[in-house]
């Protein structure tokens, strides 16, 4: 079947709708109007709420009670998109949706003038209309607006998805998000939730004395995270620039300057692969708190998650209930706090592997085949091939410990750390990272080979990264130089030497803890979404062909 053949049915439908639009123009009516009747517009959700007292436990409305309440309300003027259209004899029913909810429109000869009924010929699924009438209940107890006047506002030239089942192809849903939002109430709910979640995060920080700031998105150096940047060019200054991978170094400059609690919610850009957890353009929260430690931030993180989730439950109770049931994790119990070494040791024990695997694997003659047969987990679920490749790149014991964590422990966090009843996983703080993989974090006083750092994993997904900040300018300068050496060896995910940041540290950074969290992943977790593309309105996709 040729491409033209595949599109022929849709083209025919679109042409039929164009003809209806043209017929309206010929009658002197605009099929793409930009005005409304002068009466105030009633939103559908609040309108339904005004007569909620007439609804019984089964969800049906009492006719007499609706008539009584409707008499107090009078004529209602509504507008929205037509989702459903059906007719029975001399009556027609339309399902209307606006941003607040849905309502049935009931048109029939007993109440709707013949001229208004004739307008039904102009109206099709997907059109935007306005209508007037009074609320009533049908014999089946359905709340309806008994229409006395109706008008087409916008003619939809393309039909909605067939039979109102939504867009079946996942990629088409992402490309045509406007249709996805119309067709799928679940998709629309996720993006309403995202807005509530972002506002709740801001509210939590604002209420605790944090100041929201904005820092540059065009950087002259790569810094603040280990990631490959996007490059661009400023013509007037003839200089190469990078889209920011993190705002960290600028925010800590502000703490040096006396803004002791700051945060930024903004877009970051990392030139990396695309997966269910990664989009090159994403939203991140970073905040910095003077006179705090990474332990302070673990407590704050638990409080932030619970505050945001409680706010979501208040604002979207029905949807939140469904998401809560679908979540494979619980926020009701204390988050686990596990040092990285302890996580590796526990993972080795769970896989029936020797406790020294992560140290001996770097040597010659490591018995990989024997280890891979030691248990079901070791045999079928540990990625030994990539683990070995990662180990070969390790230049020191710290990097080797981190590699062991990534391949032996991290993939199993969700099953190794569970709620008291064993039914759901609990979020896990993995803490005390090797200094070699944490170039901006403060060394532990008790063990300088480690740093005061944690990452939070929620059902196996990393959501947060935080640490006590490195305030020693000489130590920081040495770590920047180490990053340059890695870059010289071909490592693309390294930082540049930021001389101005070192100068800022030389003015004195108070004891400070910093925190970063992917907002997209937070929304994924709280709405039980499987892919990051489900929570980003317009994810990056390959061009259509």
Assess if residue 21 is contained within a domain.
Answer: yes
For residue range 233-242, what is the model confidence (pLDDT) as tens digits? 999 999 999 9
Q: What local confidence, expressed as pLDDT, does residue 1 receive? A: 46
Q: What local confidence, expressed as pLDDT, does residue 172 receive? A: 87
Domain containing 143: what range?
3-160
Assess if residue 150 is contained within a domain.
Answer: yes
The CATH number of whichever domain residue 79 belongs to comes to 2.40.50.140
pTM of structure: 0.92
Assess if residue 76 is contained within a domain.
Answer: yes
Low-confidence residues of the chain: pLDDT under 70: 1-7, 89, 162-168
- Characterize the bridge pairing of strands 461-468 and 450-458: antiparallel
How far is C-alpha 39 from the geometric centre of its chain's CA atoms?
38
Q: Which residues contact 245 (CB under 8 A, 6 or more apart)?
A: 222, 223, 224, 225, 227, 229, 268, 269, 270
Assess if residue 134 is contained within a domain.
Answer: yes
Assess if residue 423 is contained within a domain.
Answer: no
Question: How many structural domains compose the chain?
Answer: 1
Q: What local confidence, expressed as pLDDT, does residue 535 receive? A: 97
Buried b (16+ CB within 10 A) or exposed e, 156-173: bbeebbeeeebbeeeeeb
Side-chain-facing half-sphere of 512: CA atoms under 13 Å: 30
Side-chain-facing half-sphere of 541: CA atoms under 13 Å: 18
Tokens of 106: 């009931």
Asked whether the beta carbons of 243 and 221 are under 8 A apart, the reply is: no
CA distances from 83 to 164, 166, 261, 314, 423 (A): 8, 12, 48, 28, 40
Tokens of 228: 């490959």
Assess if residue 20 is contained within a domain.
Answer: yes
Q: What local confidence, expressed as pLDDT, does residue 91 receive? A: 87
For residue range 485-543, what is the model confidence (pLDDT) as tens digits? 988 988 888 889 999 999 999 999 999 999 999 999 999 999 999 999 999 999 999 88
Burial class of residue 333, CB neighbours in 10 A (0-12, 13-18, 19+): middle
Burial class of residue 325, CB neighbours in 10 A (0-12, 13-18, 19+): exposed
Q: Residue 223 and residue 243: Cα distance in Å, rounded?
A: 11
Q: Residue 106 and residue 1: Cα distance in Å, rounded?
A: 43
Q: Residue 277 and residue 520: Cα distance in Å, rounded?
A: 9
For residue range 85-140, what is the model confidence (pLDDT) as tens digits? 998 767 899 999 999 999 999 999 989 999 999 999 999 999 999 999 999 999 99
DSSP states along 181-235:
HHH-HHHHHHHHHHHHHHHHHHHHHHHTT-EE----SEESS--SSS-PPPEEEET
Assess if residue 507 is contained within a domain.
Answer: no
Assess if residue 53 is contained within a domain.
Answer: yes
Q: Would you give the end-to-end CA distance of the chain in angstroms? A: 16
Q: Residue 120 and residue 486: Cα distance in Å, rounded?
A: 70
């Amino acid at each position: 079947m040729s491409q033209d053949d595949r599109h022929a049915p849709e083209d025919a439908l679109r042409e039929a709708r164009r003809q209806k639009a043209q017929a309206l123009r010929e009658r002197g009516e605009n099929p793409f109007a930009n005005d409304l009747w002068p009466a105030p517009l009633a939103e559908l959700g609040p309108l339904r709420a005004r007569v909620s007292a007439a609804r019984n436990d089964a969800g049906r409305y009492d006719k007499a009670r609706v008539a009584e309440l409707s008499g107090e309300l009078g004529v209602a003027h509504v507008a929205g998109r037509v989702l459903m259209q059906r007719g029975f004899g001399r009556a027609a029913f339309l399902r209307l949706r606006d941003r607040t909810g849905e309502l049935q429109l009931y048109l029939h000869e007993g109440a709707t003038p013949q001229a208004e009924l004739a307008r039904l010929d102009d109206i099709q699924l997907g059109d935007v209309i306005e209508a007037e009438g009074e609320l009533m209940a049908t014999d089946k107890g359905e709340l309806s607006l008994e229409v006395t006047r109706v008008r087409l506002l916008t003619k939809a030239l393309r039909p909605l998805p067939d039979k109102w089942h939504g867009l079946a192809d996942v990629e088409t849903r992402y490309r045509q998000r406007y249709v996805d939002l119309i067709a799928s109430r679940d998709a629309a709910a996720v993006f309403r939730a995202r807005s509530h979640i972002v506002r709740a995060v801001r509210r939590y920080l604002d209420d605790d004395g944090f100041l929201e700031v904005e820092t540059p998105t065009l950087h002259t150096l790569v810094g603040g995270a280990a990631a490959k940047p996007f490059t661009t060019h400023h013509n007037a200054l003839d200089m190469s620039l990078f889209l920011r991978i993190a705002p960290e170094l600028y925010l800590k400059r502000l703490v040096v300057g006396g803004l002791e609690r700051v945060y930024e919610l903004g877009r970051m850009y990392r030139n990396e692969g695309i997966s269910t957890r990664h989009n090159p353009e994403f939203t991140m929260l970073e905040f910095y708190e003077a006179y705090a430690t990474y332990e302070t931030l673990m407590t704050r993180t638990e409080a932030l998650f619970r505050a945001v989730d409680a706010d979501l439950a208040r604002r979207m109770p029905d949807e939140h209930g469904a998401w809560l049931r679908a979540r494979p994790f619980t926020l009701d119990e204390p988050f686990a706090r596990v040092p990285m070494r302890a996580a590796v040791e526990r993972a080795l024990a769970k896989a029936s592997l020797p406790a020294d695997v992560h140290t001996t694997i770097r040597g010659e003659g490591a018995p990989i085949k024997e280890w891979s047969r030691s248990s079901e987990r070791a045999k079928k679920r540990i990625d030994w091939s990539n683990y070995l490749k990662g180990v070969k790149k390790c230049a020191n014991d710290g990097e080797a410990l981190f590699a062991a964590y990534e391949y032996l422990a991290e993939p199993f966090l969700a099953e190794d750390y569970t709620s008291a009843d064993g039914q759901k996983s609990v979020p896990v703080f993995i803490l005390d990272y090797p200094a070699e993989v944490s170039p901006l974090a403060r060394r532990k006083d008790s063990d300088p080979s480690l740093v005061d750092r944690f990452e939070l994993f929620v059902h196996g997904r990393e959501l947060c990264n935080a640490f006590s900040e490195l305030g020693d300018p000489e130590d920081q300068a040495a770590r920047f130089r180490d990053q340059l050496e890695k870059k010289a060896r071909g490592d693309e995910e390294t930082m540049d030497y930021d001389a101005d940041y070192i100068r800022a540290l030389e003015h004195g950074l108070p004891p400070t803890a910093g925190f970063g969290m992917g907002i997209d992943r937070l929304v994924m977790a709280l709405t039980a979404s499987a892919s990051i593309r489900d929570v980003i309105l317009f994810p990056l996709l390959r061009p259509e062909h």
